[in-house]
A and B are shown apart, each in its own frame.
Chain A
Amino acid sequence: MYNFEYQKAGSVADAAKAATGEAKIVAGGMTLIPTLKLRLASPSKLVDLGGIKDLVGIKAEGGGVTIGAMTTHAAVANSAEVKKAIPALADLAEGIGDPAVRNRGTIGGSVANNDPAADYPAACVALGATIVTNKRKIAADDFFTGLFETALQEGEIVTSISFPAPEKAAYQKFRNPASRYALVGVFVAKTKAGVRVAVTGAGEGGVFRKKSFEDALSKNFSAAALDGIKVDAKGLNSDIHASADYRAHIISVMAKRAVAAAK
């Protein structure tokens, strides 16, 4: 680890002011601290959001939920509001990492980091969530822009994420046996406006929507509707853990299982 200054921000405005240039925001630190330990990043300053109470908490709103950026994965997994409105989201949070990670890692950190194998991006995209920052509101479809890339600008801080409630939804994750991140994760949501299917872990550019699945499922929301729809391996990751072909196949299997499990 390189030396850095540490500042505990008292408010989002403070944090935004401090988090410019070489400074970096730290939330749960589950991704950032290991990066620092490996000396892969050398921020001049860490601005800790941990003291900002407004960023923590879950509110039921308009049938959906709004989750503060500093809410931990464990809090989401155990939230009565989330379980009621979007049980699939609580299930997803329950499946992230291990207990230590779930009790430190935050939803804001996860979406801001946009790891291509992370789970939350799939939920955000499939549920049509809105990412709220200190500056604006960004639709999930516009937020995740590439590998570890988001629409966030310098000094922009995620404050909360609003998830409208679907009619039905489910998330199915096929774990990478080593990292236990998603080798393939498929989030299927049936909403009034139609079905949305988001895939994480598999795509070369991170989370993506699977239009052919969405069209088929919008007509007939059943696993059988996906029979015979071929998933193209082009644009999918191929690495020592799995080939692109296998990932393509697993996308179909996970999507079907998600449809069957949707509630």
Chain B
Amino acid sequence: MADMGIGVSVKRREDARFLTGNGTYTDDINRHGQTHAIIVRSPHAHARIKKINQAKAKAMPGVVAIFTGEDMKVGSLPCGWLIKNQDGSNMVEPGHPPIAQGKVRHVGDPVVVVVAETRQQALEAAEAVTVDYEVLPSVSSLKAATKAGAPLVWDEAKGNICYDWALGDKAAVDAAFAGAHKIVKIDLVNNRLIPNAMEPRAAIGDFDKATGDYTLYTTSQNPHVIRLLMGAFVLSIPESKLRVVAPDVGGGFGSKIYHYAEEAIVTWGAGQLKRPIKWTAERSESFMSDAHGRDHVTHAELALDKDGKFLALKAETLANMGAYLSTFATCVPTYLHATLLAGVYTTPAIWCNVKAVFTNTVPVDAYRGAGRPEATFLLERIVDIAAREMKMDPAEIRRKNFIQTSQFPYQTPVALQYDTGNYDATLDMALKMIDYKGFAGRKAAAAAKGKLRGIGVSCYIEACGIAPSAVVGSLGARAGLYECANVRVHPTGSVSIFTGSHSHGQGHETTFAQVVAEKLGIPSEQIEIVHGDTAKVPFGMGTYGSRSIAVGGAALVKALDKIILKGRKIAAHLMEASEKDVEFKDGKFTVAGTDKAKTFGEVALTAYVPHNYPITELEPGLEEQAFYDPLNFTYPSGCYIAEVEIDKDTGTLEIMRFVASDDFGKIINPMIVEGQVHGGIAQGLGQALLESCVYDKDGQLLTGSYNDYCMPRADDFPNFDVQHTDKPTPCTHNPLGVKGCGEAGAIGAPPAVMNAICNALGVVHMDMPATPEKIWRAANAHMARAAE
């Protein structure tokens, strides 16, 4: 299947339906007798609910029900990862009721749910609900929350600290610092972001009066996880009575991993009313209710010897959790951040302390990259500062400290063991792509036009293919992180694949079909990829952490191998040959040394019409299932280089070139991978240059619309030059040799462009986003220094 198999840039088969408006998103679904919910949300960052006045609203036309926290006493929206404090005690884990109970803790916290026959009626009635609040003092930033005597978000969390955690060998780090030739330091903020998937969240709860079964349609990256969390922890509905469907989903970037209040509200409410309830977020609601990303304040220090070798790194980070612990919030700054602080370097000793902090803001959780962008930004910035202070070339100081190809498997001092990589290869390639040597000439040419030109290198690594269950279990994860695939071969040889990997923009329907086509040698029209429905797919842990192809794809390969194994037995019987002499290639079973052959379709038909069949040894039918639990993370890595020009008069920045050289191991569909990297880079540059979530000191969200929250647009960027390394290092422990590519761009891009800006301006550091005003101020200071 040369036109369709692994390594071919097959066009995305799902795009036909998306581009012609024929996708089916949650809001496109309407159930018979459906009602509509509008959620009245807190206008205050922190307040006691004194009284809810709903009599007027109740009497309004079309109103079916009004629910408050008093009505909906259910379980707490759970947190999926227990983090231990340095002293061994557990983190503070306050409850998270779907509807606020007694107190609200952030602007946007759900207070009242109004259900009516139409959305319009629900809107009218929601406006008629009034709530009397006693406004309480609040904290809306890490700085405010950690000040002595700060107001408490939770009484049980002293100093607003959720946990105080550390990783690494502090004594070894201190010793290395004591003997260091040079110590470089950085204080940085990793700016808070709002994910902004194109499709706002939506949910429909349905209840079947005949069977007592619940169905939730929701905008989720992982329907089985939602079924597990909501069924087991919040609403006490057994899996057998709860179906979760995540149909076409218009982007997630992490923000649709978590179990949200609205999902529980519509499901529970449907059971109460015995009628379906639909809720669809308005964009302004998304801003104040989708989990946000990043939001770290970090101090870090790097110790070097006289040759520029890294001796030790220490980092202290405050990480904002928001007001409640979202599903994966607690593991993001810890096991997805501190464990990446070795980067691609041989730094022998590392210590990282993370204090997670409650604030009166929307919960913060994983957002494209999740912890790894924060780690990469910290590391690649401090390494650049080290180069500057050591008067070394930024590319060379990196190269000097790279883990060498001979050192794999490489055990880092922060828990991870990298299986393979080749960091020189991606660096060399990127340097060539951008013509690094020619930079001085380009800088001089820019200076002649009155522009400041800078170049910035970033070498990233990420831990993907999340994750070995036993490893994460020992670190506090409350779930396994395997994946499941089911392969159903139909009598005529067409195939349905049921995968737990949900696709919400990644193109799985194409990529997974390519894997099947390659393995079974059948044309793509015969392959159907089914995902996103717990009633169809046996099980799944979903899509995040660049895990779909590495874990979901591996499960698929395992299941396909079982199909081939059984097919070979059937073919051996049909061809009266010994099973060991039967080969399977290009969709045909053949007997070595003969011209005997059976097609995959013939074997499938035999399995379902078993007239001539080894019935005593083999069951009829051809359907197999596999679970795959990875042995290790995968470690995509690469090098990004940005070149920028700055207009000194205004501080306006133009990205002149952006090159990416990535090592994703084996690649299934190069075009899709390139698209993923492009999107990731755009998001990464969005963080670096444009995006920033701002709360005022009273916890009001100032960036609550696109007038104020700056999303990147196509004309903000040049065309990115994205290439795959010429010396790929396939993953050594999964059957496809794949590593995952979904987050790389968002991880590698921010430090590349920020390093370029600092290089152009001759400054040590600038916090993101690098707005024209910030750049202008720095450029002015630079010119003032130059004039001295």
Decide if A and B are genuine partners: yes
Q: Which stretch (B17-25, B39-47, B522-530, B706-714) binds chain A?
A: B706-714
Q: Name A's interface SS.
A: loop
Residues on the A chain within 8 Å of B650, using CB: 174, 250, 253
B690 near A177: Cβ-Cβ < 8 Å = yes
Residues on the B chain within 8 Å of A246, using CB: 772-773, 776-777
A153 interfacial contact with B, CB 8 Å:
no
A243 near B773: Cβ-Cβ < 8 Å = yes
Complex Cα spacing A177 to B769, Å: 12
B702 interfacial contact with A, CB 8 Å:
yes
Contact of B284 among A38, A179, A240 (CB under 8 A): A38
Complex Cα spacing A240 to B706, Å: 13
Other than the given A39-B127, A174-B650, A240-B694, 9 more pairs (CB < 8 A) read A178-B707, A178-B708, A178-B709, A178-B711, A179-B706, A179-B707, A242-B772, A243-B773, A253-B650
A residues contacting the other copy or chain, number (CB 8 A)? 15
* Nearest-neighbor residue (CB-CB) of A38 within chain B: B284
Complex Cα spacing A240 to B191, Å: 14
A39 near B123: Cβ-Cβ < 8 Å = yes
Kindly supply a per-residue 1/0 record for chain A positions 175-193, scoring 1 wherever the CB is within 8 Å of any chain B CB and 0 otherwise: 0011100000000000000
Complex Cα spacing A3 to B120, Å: 9
Q: In the assembled complex, how far is the CB of residue B34 from the closest CB belonging to chain A, in whole angstroms?
A: 20
* Nearest-neighbor residue (CB-CB) of B774 within chain A: A246
The 20 sampled A-B contact pairs (Cβ below 8 Å) are A3-B120, A39-B123, A174-B650, A177-B690, A177-B771, A177-B772, A178-B706, A178-B709, A179-B706, A179-B707, A179-B708, A240-B694, A240-B708, A241-B708, A242-B771, A246-B772, A246-B776, A246-B777, A253-B649, A253-B650
Kindly supply a per-residue 1/0 record for chain A positions 141-185, scoring 1 wherever the CB is within 8 Å of any chain B CB and 0 otherwise: 000000000000000000000000000000000100111000000
Residues on the B chain within 8 Å of A249, using CB: 776
CB-CB nearest 4 A-B residue pairs = A178-B710, A246-B773, A179-B707, A177-B710
* Nearest-neighbor residue (CB-CB) of A174 within chain B: B650
Residues 81-126 (chain A) with a chain B CB within 8 angstroms? none
Q: In the assembled complex, how far is the CB of residue A263 from the closest CB belonging to chain B, in whole angstroms?
A: 21
Residues 708-725 (chain B) with a chain A CB within 8 angstroms? 708-711
Residues on the A chain within 8 Å of B710, using CB: 177-178
Complex Cα spacing A60 to B776, Å: 42
B703 interfacial contact with A, CB 8 Å:
yes
B residues sitting closer than 8 Å to A (CB atoms) are: 120, 123, 127, 284, 649-650, 690, 694, 702-703, 706-711, 771-773, 776-777
A residues sitting closer than 8 Å to B (CB atoms) are: 3, 38-39, 174, 177-179, 240-243, 246, 249-250, 253
Q: Name B's interface SS.
A: loop
Complex Cα spacing A241 to B649, Å: 17
Complex Cα spacing A93 to B702, Å: 29
Q: In the assembled complex, how far is the CB of residue B452 from the closest CB belonging to chain A, in whole angstroms?
A: 16
Q: In the assembled complex, how far is the CB of residue A251 from the closest CB belonging to chain B, in whole angstroms?
A: 11
Residues on the A chain within 8 Å of B690, using CB: 177-178
Residues on the B chain within 8 Å of A253, using CB: 649-650
Complex Cα spacing A3 to B121, Å: 11
Complex Cα spacing A3 to B650, Å: 46
Residues on the A chain within 8 Å of B776, using CB: 246, 249
Complex Cα spacing A3 to B771, Å: 41
Residues on the B chain within 8 Å of A174, using CB: 650
Residues on the A chain within 8 Å of B123, using CB: 39
Q: In the assembled complex, how far is the CB of residue B465 from the closest CB belonging to chain A, in whole angstroms?
A: 36
Q: In the assembled complex, how far is the CB of residue B717 from the closest CB belonging to chain A, in whole angstroms?
A: 13
Given contacts A39-B123, A174-B650, A177-B710, contact A240 B773 (CB under 8 A): no
Complex Cα spacing A8 to B706, Å: 31
Residues on the A chain within 8 Å of B703, using CB: 240
Residues on the B chain within 8 Å of A241, using CB: 708, 771
Q: In the assembled complex, how far is the CB of residue A226 from the closest CB belonging to chain B, in whole angstroms?
A: 13
* Nearest-neighbor residue (CB-CB) of A254 within chain B: B650
Residues on the A chain within 8 Å of B772, using CB: 177, 242, 246
Q: In the assembled complex, how far is the CB of residue B722 from the closest CB belonging to chain A, in whole angstroms?
A: 24
Contact of B773 among A3, A39, A242 (CB under 8 A): A242
* Nearest-neighbor residue (CB-CB) of B711 within chain A: A178
Residues on the B chain within 8 Å of A250, using CB: 650
Q: In the assembled complex, how far is the CB of residue B255 from the closest CB belonging to chain A, in whole angstroms?
A: 20
* Nearest-neighbor residue (CB-CB) of A117 within chain B: B707
Complex Cα spacing A38 to B704, Å: 13
Q: In the assembled complex, how far is the CB of residue B703 from the closest CB belonging to chain A, in whole angstroms?
A: 7
Q: Which of A240, A241, A242 has the most CB of B within 10 A?
A: A240
Residues on the A chain within 8 Å of B707, using CB: 178-179
* Nearest-neighbor residue (CB-CB) of B691 within chain A: A178
Q: In the assembled complex, how far is the CB of residue A244 from the closest CB belonging to chain B, in whole angstroms?
A: 11
* Nearest-neighbor residue (CB-CB) of A184 within chain B: B650
Residues on the B chain within 8 Å of A243, using CB: 773
Complex Cα spacing A246 to B123, Å: 41
Complex Cα spacing A3 to B123, Å: 12
* Nearest-neighbor residue (CB-CB) of A250 within chain B: B650
Residues on the B chain within 8 Å of A177, using CB: 690, 710, 771-772
A240 near B649: Cβ-Cβ < 8 Å = no
